Amino acid sequence: MKKINKLLLSVAIAGLCGGAMAKPVESDNEAWKAKFPNQYDSWASSAETDQIVDLLADDPNLVVLWAGYGFSKDYNKARGHYYAVTDVIQTLRTGAPMNDTDGPMPAACWSCKSPDVARMYQEVGEGNFNDHKFGKWGHEMGNAIGCADCHESGTPKLTLSRPYAERAMEKVDLTFSEQSRDMKAAQTCGQCHVEYYFDKNDHNNVRFPWENGFTAEGAEKYFDSIGFADWTHKISKAPMLKAQHPEFETWATSVHAEMDVTCITCHMPKVTNDQGRKFSKHNVGNALDNFDVACSSCHDSQADLKATLKANKEAINAEKLKAEAIIVRAHFEAGAAWEAGATEAEMKQALTHIRHAQWRWDFAIASHGVHAHNPQEALRLLASAQEIGLQAQAELKKVLTKYGVAQPVAIPDISTKEAAQALVGWDKAKLDAQKEAFLEQRVDKEWPERN
């Protein structure tokens, strides 16, 4: 009866929209297994990428840089697609919503985690889904990122299952139906591996800030033009932006893109099964694991490529840490200026510099695999972040001097994640207890099984 009612609702929504009813979304990943066994098994192998790496513990600067925002509570390295639903439920960033209307996050936080989102968009409508809080739809989210996110139900035909992605692609003249199959495949990845925000003027629907192209500066210009901020920094009071994971953007401005090398080329190459038939590998793993089929047409040696990637990562990390040191200091200097009695007018330029510096740093380091996808862009952005961060310090020096504040401003102990979180006001023990109660009392009893 429940399925029949949902089907009738889909018909009603299609009728109200004046269009033909779309083919129902088959969001159950298991339902695809019999028809696409090789693809399914390779997708399921993403469960092997299960290690939890605490990035805040690795780099406590992040806690200060995101002070007052959920990412300073909890931020782990991305795991395999298999864990997408589990990880978004378990992260402290989504809180502990004990009922359908609890915060802190909107339902749009589910957007990239499950094909059940595409099914629910069809059943209740995109805006109606996103008008609610995160806790509203947990009982519907039983499948991690999988088949129906990228394919029309029961077929290998590619599709953009998220209407917000289709709207964004059209905005930059990349209408899905007009692209090559390789580009269509890259666009399906680009439904999630992008920078985005939730548009409060449009039901909290997901929106990509591509009005000025794919660069960090283009997005910054757009956000500045609409006065958007993800949060106000706890220490500096700067209106901040948080980059998500702009892989599509950093790829789009890369040499790889110029050579028509897409996400699929490297991370989902064609391989041969035991019967000699080719299929696309769906575990979205490390390209080096498939060097012969994914990389060898352009790179002569796996060892040389591995060494190049290692050098790229080390160079980016070194510049990342330089930028962090500058921006962290600027946050504390701004905090000291406020405490000394600085006015909003006196602080405006410095806070704008902090906002822009940190945005460029974040855009570079939040892009997973940027050391492979577009290391030159990462290094360019990190150099810009350092330059603008120093401009912020120069502005703050004027204000601090005016108010007689001793310089250099002392930086508190932020050498560990725990010290940094206590400094910015998080009661980690309390947050952990609330999350565990939520998992035991609500998720385990009412929501689909978690891993």
At 211-270, the pLDDT tens digits run 999 999 999 999 999 999 999 999 999 999 999 999 999 999 999 999 999 999 999 999
- Backbone conformation region of residue 404, classed left if phi is above 0, alpha if psi is from -120 to 50, else beta: left
According to the model, what pLDDT value does residue 285 have? Answer: 86
According to the model, what pLDDT value does residue 5 have? Answer: 43
The answer to whether 244 and 195 are in contact (CB under 8 A) is yes
The DSSP output letter for 25 is P
The neighbouring-strand residues paired with 240 are 231
Which residues, given as ranges, of the chain have pLDDT below 50? 1-20, 451
According to the model, what pLDDT value does residue 103 have? Answer: 84
SS3 277: coil
According to the model, what pLDDT value does residue 149 have? Answer: 98
Phi, psi values for residue 312, rounded to 5° = -60, -45
According to the model, what pLDDT value does residue 449 have? Answer: 66
According to the model, what pLDDT value does residue 450 have? Answer: 54
Residue 14 tokens read as: 């299609």
Q: What share of the chain is helix, strand, coil (3-state, %, to 5)?
A: 55, 5, 40
